[in-house]
Amino acid sequence: MEFTLYAITGTPEVSYKFEPPPNARRVVHVPLFGTIDPAEYLLRDLPFDELRRRRAATTEDEVETVFVPLLERLLEGLAVTGPEIRDYGVVVYDLWRWFEHHDWRRTWTSRSVYAAFTRREAARAPNAQPSVGDINIALHWLSAFLLPLAVPVPRTDLVHSTIAGFAALPGIVAKHRDGTPFLVTEHGVYVRERYISVSAAPFSPYAKRFLMALTSFVARLVYAHADLVAPVVRFNRRWEIPYGVPAAKIRPIYNGVDPGVFVPKAKPEATAGGPVAVAAARIFPLKDIETMIRSAAVARELLPEIKYLVYGSLDADKPYVETCRALIAELRLEQTFELRGFHSKPAELYTEGDVCVLSSISEAFPYTVLESMSCARPVVGTDVGGVKEALEGFGRVVRPRDPEALGRAVVELMADDEFRRELGRRCREEVLAKYRTSNSVNAYRDAYLELTGRRVAA
């Protein structure tokens, strides 16, 4: 199987974390923000004469008579929540066809586009008129998030999107153009996590409503066009079904880990002397590191020698990192709680501790839980996403944002060495039985073969 990969990123300043395998024949980088002209990344294989022809074809009259009606129809769809939302897939396809022959930047900076967008948004909220600033930021968001409609869509046997969001728009295009089978994987539920992040963002009420209406519209549209939705956890059905996915089209495919890499080991000398809880977590609000810090204060009262070692990028959200450091200082946990940054050997960080801690307020089916279980380290995690599906009978699950319960659960496992080690042994056996990488890869392979007609479903 050969792949063309579209990497949707926030900015152009990124680099590979892994070298793509030989069967990834092409990787196209699609940065949504931070470029002067998207053609420099998306269309760099096109001759300059073709780019110049597209700019010349993008006249004000052409934009007003062809593009603006499509834009107005798309904005109309933001209010649609029923099964008729599938009808708006052809609008997405027609927008993609427009950008096959016209210039992206010249289109979105057209006076007629700005006027049409302003009229539509003013009509949508007659009692709460958006400001000029609101209109500008909303139109900027719209043009940025729809950028996947500017990419060439090759003719393939299958389209596989790893999120039910804007990155999946080429799948809708391929479905309308060629009838291409369309598979959607869900890790975290995209629309749910957008609700969480947008609600806490410093945007105006209008901007928040617009962004969530756009996100919800695209998620529903993607679900409506998918032939199979394969969440990594059963929990996601709670959102997928209300957002329009028939239950018969949902087939969970769990994440997997390599038990030959994540193996049980004794604690190293540096941490062998006392009780240690470890965490592998990006330091940003969805991981709720503040609750983990407060849980360490609870645990220290019961087990004074306990230490928490947290590994994860300190650059992803620097203001949040500083908030966490300030809380550590406020609670006088400098000798108890350490933010250690990036760990170069993730397979070894879990064995530095006795248990693993996860304090997230949103998750799908986190690899950190499976990796820790594979290393025979039981996990204390919050009841979000599929954490309970993995840990029930193999760890401890507590409510999110409850530092008291989290800290006490950590101490409970630390206090009984024999039970903790038995739990760790069972964790390892559960991974070997259900959560190997090979199980996950084979399930995707079977889905590919079934959707392309090369294998009939059982």
d(C-alpha 50, C-alpha 356), whole Å: 55
d(C-alpha 210, C-alpha 204), whole Å: 10
Does residue 206 surpass a pLDDT of 70? yes
Q: Is 443 contained in some domain? A: no
- Give the pLDDT of residue 344: 86
d(C-alpha 419, C-alpha 397), whole Å: 16
pLDDT digits (tens, 9 = 90+) for 244-255: 999 999 999 999
Q: Is 9 contained in some domain? A: yes
Does 403 lie in the same domain as 325? yes
Cα-Cα-Cα-Cα dihedral sign, residues 240, 241, 242, 243: positive
Q: Is 189 contained in some domain? A: yes
- Give the pLDDT of residue 280: 96
Q: Is 456 contained in some domain? A: no
pLDDT digits (tens, 9 = 90+) for 216-246: 999 999 999 999 999 999 999 999 999 999 9
Domain with residue 273: its CATH number is 3.40.50.2000
Tokens 């390892």 map to which residue?
A: 428
Does 141 lie in the same domain as 13? yes
Does 287 lie in the same domain as 241? no
Does 147 lie in the same domain as 71? yes
Does 81 lie in the same domain as 20? yes
Q: Domains in the chain: how many in total?
A: 2
Q: Is 153 contained in some domain? A: yes
Q: Is 452 contained in some domain? A: no
Q: Is 131 contained in some domain? A: yes
Does 320 lie in the same domain as 195? no
Residue type at position 398: V
Does 229 lie in the same domain as 304? no
- Give the pLDDT of residue 455: 74
pLDDT digits (tens, 9 = 90+) for 21-63: 999 999 999 999 988 888 888 887 889 899 999 999 999 999 9
Does 293 lie in the same domain as 225? no
Contact between 92 and 149 under an 8 Å Cβ cutoff? The reply is yes
Residue type at position 30: V
Range from 119-133, 382-396, 400-414 that averages highest in pLDDT: 400-414
**Mean pLDDT confidence for 401-414:** 98
Question: Facing residues of 338 across strands?
Answer: 309
Does residue 439 surpass a pLDDT of 90? yes
pTM of the model: 0.88
d(C-alpha 306, C-alpha 110), whole Å: 61
d(C-alpha 303, C-alpha 264), whole Å: 25
Domain that residue 390 falls in: 269-435
- Give the pLDDT of residue 126: 67
Band of the pLDDT at 4, cuts 50, 70, 90?
A: very high
Does residue 202 surpass a pLDDT of 60? yes
- Give the pLDDT of residue 456: 62
Q: What is the mean pLDDT of the chain?
A: 94
Angle, helices 289-302/318-330, rounded to nearest 10 degrees: 20
Write the DSSP string, 278-310: EEE--SSGGG-HHHHHHHHHHHHHH-TT-EEEE
d(C-alpha 180, C-alpha 303), whole Å: 58
Does residue 75 surpass a pLDDT of 80? yes
Percent of the chain scored above 90 by pLDDT? 86
Contact between 406 and 291 under an 8 Å Cβ cutoff? The reply is yes
**Mean pLDDT confidence for 201-210:** 92
Does 123 lie in the same domain as 188? yes
pLDDT digits (tens, 9 = 90+) for 371-391: 999 999 999 999 999 999 999
Angle value at C-alpha 6, between 238 and 343, nearest 5 degrees: 75
**Mean pLDDT confidence for 68-91:** 96
Does residue 125 surpass a pLDDT of 80? no
Q: Is 262 contained in some domain? A: no
d(C-alpha 216, C-alpha 82), whole Å: 12
- Give the pLDDT of residue 458: 55
Neighbours of 192 (CB within 10 A): 17
Does residue 80 surpass a pLDDT of 70? yes
CA-based R_g, the chain, Å:
24
**Mean pLDDT confidence for 93-115:** 97
pLDDT digits (tens, 9 = 90+) for 294-343: 999 999 999 999 999 999 999 889 999 999 999 999 999 999 999 999 99
Percent of the chain scored above 70 by pLDDT? 98
Does 340 lie in the same domain as 241? no
**Mean pLDDT confidence for 97-121:** 95
Does residue 128 surpass a pLDDT of 80? no
Does 228 lie in the same domain as 101? yes
d(C-alpha 37, C-alpha 357), whole Å: 44
Band of the pLDDT at 457, cuts 50, 70, 90?
A: low
Does 243 lie in the same domain as 283? no
